[in-house]
Amino acid sequence: MMRWNFAGGGRSHGRQRPMSMPPRPAHTALALLLAASAAVAAPAALADAAVVTTPQVRAELVALAPQGVAPGQPVWVGLSITHKPEWHTYWKNPGDSGLPTELRWQLPAGVQAGDIAWPVPHKIPIGPLANYGYENTVLLPVPLTVGPGFQATGGQMQVKLSASWLVCRKECIPEEGEFTLDLPVQGATALHQAAFDAAAAAHPQALPAGSTAEIVDGKTLAVSVRGLPATLQGKTLEFFPETAEVIETAGAWTQAWDGAVWTARVPLSAQRSQSPERMPVVLALGADGNRQAWRAEAAVAGPWPQGAAVATVSPALTAALEANATATPVDAGRPIGLIAALAGALLGGLILNFMPCVFPVLAIKMLGFARHAGQQRALRVHGLAYSAGVVLSFVALAGLLLGLRAAGEQLGWGFQLQSPGVVAALAVLFTLLGLNLAGLFEFGQLLPSRLASAQARNPTADAFLSGVLAVAIASPCTAPFMGASMGLAVGLPTAQALLVFAVLGLGMALPFLLASLVPAAVRWLPRPGPWMDVFRRCMAFPMFATVAWLVWVLGQQTGIDGAAALLLLLVALAAVVWALGLAGRARLVMGALALGLAAGMLGLFGPAVLRPVEAAPVAQAGARWQPWAPEQVQQALAQGRPVFVDFTAAWCVTCQYNKRTALADKSVLSDLQTKNVQLLTADWTRRDPAITAALRALGRSGVPVYVLYRQGSAPVVLSEILSVAELRAAIATL
């Protein structure tokens, strides 16, 4: 089971309107949404140091600059990881499981970092699987290029590193650290010369062209490596492919010498997800301290067998758009890939209007449209402003997601609800909306008179901001066709990715946009009247139900104490709103008392709302559903058992609906038991880089995602909204 470890540098992580008028909550909504976005985007404060120590490893940022720091002089930096006994981290190709170490550099202007010069790894058997990685001490060196534009500050060059690594024994622990090192520009830095020399000796030497790899019988890769030193002939070499998910890492393989040519026959993986035209391979000889390695790029001859996904695009997009038909490779660079993504985004946006998390906001929009019935020009402006708010909000949220992912964050769609601060902010927002709809107060009573009058004079701005609010509520939801399009979008160039998200917003806004632009649609709108006041008050209850759901989500992240603290703060908020809605001296006295009480409760209970607690296991041993881990999928498949994985989150309404309907159906559970299917739950309520990486490998960017694995076949991705018939049909194929 995977657990988190944050030791040693990890993230600790007025004019009053008539009651028959629809509410105008957008200004308050915008302020809270901006605050929530800032809380998500701002990285946690981390202590800068050259060394990070955890119970499993000691990681140190080291450098080598024997001639000082100057253009044309050799400058190396690297992360040295010393593992505790039995623990290991991973190579660039981790093998059957694991994740490679990632290094993200912050360097002065004029200095650029190269790629990691990966030392040759070891093969680490783990049961029926095998990994490629490092034990004991390893240095991951990176060359720095100092350009003529570099200027030192105070005679030093500051190097900052954000590193993340997965360290494993029987369990795997994602860890991360922040490192800072100041290098003197004039003096030599050579304290770790021996470590860098050893890493250079263990780095594979490039071989000349001419090596080949041929697919034999659709099951075997025949590798021929030319140009090796003559002294190696007849010796047994270790074999490491740099391309992941191609060969059976733990499978039996053979090697031989054909004169000066080294040959090997390696079994292809039944779960192969790559079909490269060239296979970089590393061959090694010797033990620690006297190990040599060579690297060749083998040109692949012969067609790859069918049934594996092309590396550029997962079959998940085709599976969603073609009702889980047999996936065919799609090139993301071709127009058809983008067109399919746009079509899926438009359909997903339309369906998003029918998701339960969006309905309360859309009901309020219906009130706004009804208020303008018979006023075609006002209706048109209202619809255009609302649509602009929806589309631009989707683009802004997508830009934030893409920017954070480009900076190295492992995020997906709905990432903001993985933050307790954002969940609490949305609970406050919906409490205010519910109290407003119930008639307890009007926003004009709480806003300054100038702002309140400006709000009343600018209904277009309110319509725009209500579009922003709709997106804030809809963002955790994933509708059919939408998940696959977003999964493809995050891998496209930025302009194309933003276009996909803009079309997603257009799909969501399209019904209201058409209703505002087509005069015939006005006849279907009810006329204003007393019913609007009754309907408005009724809409307070879906808002309060949304608050109850958000409190439950927060409880999954911060425990029962965090949920109780949020409820107390919401009660205090309601008291403040009620007091500020009074008139005369009562407003001053009661308002001051309520604000003082709320401030005291915020100081007392506020930290509990934002303090995450360690996640409890999803299921106890022997239970029907078990916690997901990549190793468990591979182990079950190696035993011949099919696997069904539920990628879910507490804040995903669609996930909870599926869990209580199709996934709880007795006939479905009976079919799963009959087929001896291993059931795994991948809970994405909190940020989990391993789950994010698994979703990306499936071509998805958010939850829900439901996947069936079986030995020798590509994964089958089911619909976002499950039906019993679809699920039973998929199980019947196992």
Q: Is residue 2 part of a domain?
A: no
Give me the pLDDT at residue 336, please. 36
CA triplet 462, 468, 470: central angle to 5 degrees? 105
State which amino acid sits at residue 203: H
pLDDT (average), residues 578-595:
84
Q: Tell whether the model's pLDDT for residue 9 goes beyond 90.
A: no
Q: Tell whether the model's pLDDT for residue 26 goes beyond 70.
A: no
Which tokens go with 288? 């620690």
CATH number for 277: 2.60.40
CA 698, 643, 241, 329 torsion: positive or negative? negative
CA triplet 507, 512, 514: central angle to 5 degrees? 85
pLDDT tens string 616-661? 444 433 457 888 887 888 888 888 899 999 998 776 767 777 888 8
Torsion angle of alpha carbons 464, 468, 471, 472, nearest 10°?
-160
Number of structural domains found in the chain = 4
Is 490 in the same domain as 597?
A: yes
The residue out of 610, 633, 651 marking a domain boundary is: 610
pLDDT (average), residues 588-612:
83
List the one residue out of 87, 79, 142, 75 whose CA is nearest residue 114.
Answer: 142
Q: Is residue 308 part of a domain?
A: no
Q: Is residue 77 part of a domain?
A: yes
Q: Tell whether the model's pLDDT for residue 479 goes beyond 70.
A: no
Is 582 in the same domain as 670?
A: no
Q: Is residue 11 part of a domain?
A: no
Is 143 in the same domain as 174?
A: yes
Is 708 in the same domain as 656?
A: yes
CATH number for 72: 2.60.40.10
Q: How far apart, in whole angstroms, are the C-alpha atoms of residue 480 and residue 27?
A: 31
Residue for token pair 């105008």: 24
Task: Pick left, alpha or beta for residue 505 (phi over 0 → left; psi -120 to 50 → alpha; otherwise beta).
Answer: alpha
Q: How far apart, in whole angstroms, are the C-alpha atoms of residue 321 and residue 480?
A: 9
Q: Look up the pTM and report it.
A: 0.41
Is 100 in the same domain as 223?
A: no
pLDDT (average), residues 7-35:
37
Classify 95 as helix, strand or coil: strand
The residue out of 201, 229, 254 marking a domain boundary is: 201
Is 313 or 138 the better-scoring residue by pLDDT? Answer: 138
Q: Is residue 306 part of a domain?
A: no
Q: Tell whether the model's pLDDT for residue 565 goes beyond 80.
A: yes
Identify any residues that bridge with 78 across adjacent strands, giving them in sequence order.
62, 141
pLDDT (average), residues 36-54:
50
Classify 442 as helix, strand or coil: coil
pLDDT tens string 74-112? 999 999 999 998 899 999 998 887 789 999 999 998 899
Q: How far apart, in whole angstroms, are the C-alpha atoms of residue 460 and residue 393?
A: 16
Q: How far apart, in whole angstroms, are the C-alpha atoms of residue 340 and residue 311?
A: 18
Is 267 in the same domain as 338?
A: no
CATH number for 683: 3.40.30.10
Is 387 in the same domain as 344?
A: yes
Give me the pLDDT at residue 648, please. 86
Is 227 in the same domain as 118?
A: no
pLDDT tens string 157-179? 999 999 999 888 777 788 889 99
As a three-state string, the secondary structure of 684-722 is: CCCCCHHHHHHHHHCCCCCCCEEEEECCCCCCEECCCCC
Q: Is residue 467 part of a domain?
A: yes
Q: Is residue 312 part of a domain?
A: no
Give me the pLDDT at residue 526, please. 59
Give me the pLDDT at residue 180, please. 92
Give me the pLDDT at residue 617, please. 45
pLDDT (average), residues 585-589:
84
Categorize the per-residue pLDDT at 695 as very low, low, confident or very high, splitting at 50, 70 and 90. confident
DSSP summary character for residue 190: -
Q: Tell whether the model's pLDDT for residue 143 goes beyond 90.
A: yes
Pairing state between β 156-168 and 261-267:
unpaired
User: How is 401-432 classified by DSSP, letter by letter?
Assistant: HHHHHHTT----TTGGGGSHHHHHHHHHHHHH
Is 348 in the same domain as 249?
A: no
Is 444 in the same domain as 464?
A: yes
Q: How far is CA 457 from CA 373, 441, 462, 485, 595, in A?
A: 19, 20, 10, 39, 30
> Do residues 337 and 313 lie in contact, with contact meaning Cβ atoms separated by under 8 Å?
yes
Is 265 in the same domain as 389?
A: no
Q: Tell whether the model's pLDDT for residue 390 goes beyond 70.
A: yes
CA 430, 432, 438, 444 torsion: positive or negative? negative
| Out of 268-272, 464-468, 486-490, 675-679, least confident range | 486-490
Domain that holds residue 697: 625-732
Q: Is residue 35 part of a domain?
A: yes
Torsion angle of alpha carbons 579, 585, 588, 593, nearest 10°?
-70
| Out of 20-29, 62-71, 255-264, 348-357, least confident range | 20-29
Contacts of 560 (CB under 8 A, 6+ apart): none
Is 113 in the same domain as 189?
A: yes
The residue out of 166, 201, 236 marking a domain boundary is: 201
Helices and strands counted in the chain (H then E): 20, 24
